[in-house]
Amino acid sequence: ASTKAYRARLLRFSPQGEALFEEDGLLVVGTDADGVQRVREAGPYRDLAARHAQVPVTYWPDRIIAPGFLDMHVHFPQTDIIGAPAEGLLPWLENYTFPAETRFADAAHAADVAGFFFDELQRNGVTTALTFCTSHPASVDAFFGEAQRRGLRMMGGKVLQDRHSPDGVRDETEQSLIDTEALIRKWHNKGRLGYAITPRFAPTSTDAQLRGAGELAAKYPDTWIHSHVAENKDEVRWARELFPEARSYLDVYTGFGLMRERAVYAHCIHFDDADRALMRETGTAAAVSPTSNLFLGSGFFDYEGADRVGMRHGLASDVGGGTSFSPFHTMLAAYYVGREGQTKPGLSLAPSRLWWNHTGGAAQALGLQGVVGTLQAGTEADFLVLNPAATPLLARKTALADNLEELLFALIVLGDDRLVEQVVTAGAATPA
Ligand code: GUN
Ligand code: FE
């Protein structure tokens, strides 16, 4: 009775990352006992229509159904500091980020920003995000409370930062770990929500806090771990001074048990191949944040290096260091970055690969393969309805596209929130 079908142009991905496209497609979804809608079947309308003749069909002619985007690294409390100018990461943290985050001790402020943040994700077609909150537990409750009301698949956690941080955001070692465990018990695996153990980055945590975070990560092995690494040269120098025993900045995290499946590190720019190999061997993933890296002047993610060694990665906005919630803007920035430092001249990343890196590929890197991001049968039905004629230029360019790569590239280069006409969420919205 709960089965429904949607007919439109249909973009999906194979589990291996191949883009699949039907000019006339059908997406059949049904609600399971847990209240979550999952894909029953997807493919060409002509092949599937007869088998689902009893099922009500919503028809969106000329629209494109596509998997919802995943943002692998974003800070909801930094929504209001997008575009704050600074001479690089460390002054930006001190002058804008920490003052803005101080306000999240106030639950009402946290709830207000969380509501605005989820509205923005939705308008831009982001259906899952791995999110920093602040060091205040109230910010975590605001985040998960709002995600739960909307039925979203979301991950987040309380920031751990017990040193080299100003009053107002600095937490206390023992209490921060007690708070983290209480928040794991309160929110982790509650419906579609997942907890992320979130040391801000090595320079702002004591050894004791990092050790405690690693112990929690071992005790709750299906939680996420979420932090930053090797973003900016001054930051790398600082981390090396603070942890002289470690082989590299990244190696600090291994020493505390903070690298494993579902561990995600933003940036991973200033790496060598030994760092990349450590990422691969531990199943740790990089969240590549090109608009942030360009805006803060941090550097360029090395796609060739990641491929050479086989390091997992996917795309992220890193708002407020990043300049946009739009996955289209992030994919375009990744295209620019992918050309930087290439040893083989030629095109940058293929449009279908950019798209995969923000959907199924990001899901895989997050340890959510088979759960979201592809619209394969059995996955959760978080999907977008895109209008490829949302602007006059988009209408003209997408009509001229001769093949799938040209169509996807037109959407990436010219697209923004206007493309996203509807977002269908797999989870049930629950009233406040
Ligand atoms: N490194 C430590 N904290 C932050 C942050 O909030 N944003 C970014 N981009 N890098 C960081
Ligand atoms: Fe960040």
Distance 15 CA to ligand 2 centre (A): 28
pLDDT for residue 404 is more than 70: yes
Atom of ligand 1 minimally distant from the CA of 321: 9
291 is written with which tokens?
A: 């608009």
Q: Ligand 1 test: best mutation among 89, 227, 288, most atoms within 8 Å of CB? A: 89
| Count of other CB atoms within 10 angstroms of residue 25 | 24
Q: Residues 39, 93: contact at Cβ < 8 Å?
A: no
Is the CB–ligand 1 distance for residue 157 below 6 Å? Answer: no
Band (344; pLDDT cuts 50, 70, 90): confident
Task: List, for residues 201-213, the tens digit of each pLDDT value.
Answer: 999 999 999 999 9
Is the CB–ligand 1 distance for residue 98 below 6 Å? Answer: no
Q: CA-based angle 286:78:372, to the nearest 5? A: 45
Q: CA-based angle 234:239:245, to the nearest 5? A: 140
Distance 269 CA to ligand 1 centre (A): 13
- In terms of phi and psi (left: phi > 0; alpha: psi -120 to 50; beta: otherwise), the region of 310 is left
Q: What pLDDT does 347 receive?
A: 78
Atom of ligand 1 minimally distant from the CA of 292: 9
Mean pLDDT of 36-47: 98
Band (432; pLDDT cuts 50, 70, 90): low
Read off the DSSP letter of residue 96. Answer: I
Q: What pLDDT does 1 receive?
A: 52
Is the CB–ligand 1 distance for residue 200 below 6 Å? Answer: yes
Distance 153 CA to ligand 1 centre (A): 23
Evaluated on CA atoms 296, 159, 206, 201, the torsion sign reads negative
Distance 259 CA to ligand 2 centre (A): 18
Amino acid at 300: F
Mean pLDDT of 328-355: 92
Q: Which ligand is nearest to the CA of 295?
A: 1
ipTM over 0.95: yes
Residue nearest ligand 1's atom 9 by CA: 321
Is the CB–ligand 1 distance for residue 4 below 6 Å? Answer: no
Distance 266 CA to ligand 2 centre (A): 6
Task: List, for residues 53-110, the tens digit of each pLDDT value.
Answer: 999 999 999 999 999 999 999 999 999 999 999 899 999 999 999 999 999 999 999 9
pLDDT for residue 294 is more than 60: yes
Atom of ligand 1 minimally distant from the CA of 203: 2
Evaluated on CA atoms 239, 245, 249, 251, the torsion sign reads negative
Q: What pLDDT does 88 receive?
A: 95
pLDDT for residue 240 is more than 60: yes
Is the CB–ligand 1 distance for residue 231 below 6 Å? Answer: yes
> Prior bond to 320 cis, omega within 30?
yes
pLDDT for residue 192 is more than 80: yes
Atom of ligand 1 minimally distant from the CA of 322: 9
Q: Residues 67, 382: contact at Cβ < 8 Å?
A: yes
- In terms of phi and psi (left: phi > 0; alpha: psi -120 to 50; beta: otherwise), the region of 191 is left
- CB-based neighbours (< 5 A) of ligand 2, an ion: 266, 318
Distance 220 CA to ligand 1 centre (A): 25
Q: Residues 110, 138: contact at Cβ < 8 Å?
A: yes
pLDDT for residue 431 is more than 60: yes
- In the chain, ranges of CATH 2.30.40.10 domains: 4-68+374-424
Atom of ligand 1 minimally distant from the CA of 97: 6
Q: Which ligand is nearest to the CA of 78?
A: 1
Measured CA to CA, the distance from residue 130 to residue 19 in angstroms comes to: 24
49 is written with which tokens?
A: 């229509």
Mean pLDDT of the chain: 97
Measured CA to CA, the distance from residue 348 to residue 413 in angstroms comes to: 13
Q: Which ligand is nearest to the CA of 232?
A: 1
Measured CA to CA, the distance from residue 417 to residue 227 in angstroms comes to: 28
Mean pLDDT of 17-43: 97
Element holding 61 (H helix, E strand): strand 57-67
Measured CA to CA, the distance from residue 13 to residue 66 in angstroms comes to: 9
Task: List, for residues 161-174, the tens digit of each pLDDT value.
Answer: 999 999 999 999 99
Please state the pTM of the whole predicted model: 0.98
Architecture of domain 69-365: Alpha-Beta Barrel (3.20)
Mean pLDDT of 231-247: 98
Q: What is the CATH number of domain 4-68+374-424?
A: 2.30.40.10
- In the chain, ranges of CATH 3.20.20.140 domains: 69-365
Q: Is 261 exposed, middle or buried (0-12, 13-18, 19+ CB in 10 A)?
A: middle
Residue nearest ligand 1's atom 7 by CA: 321
pLDDT for residue 246 is more than 90: yes
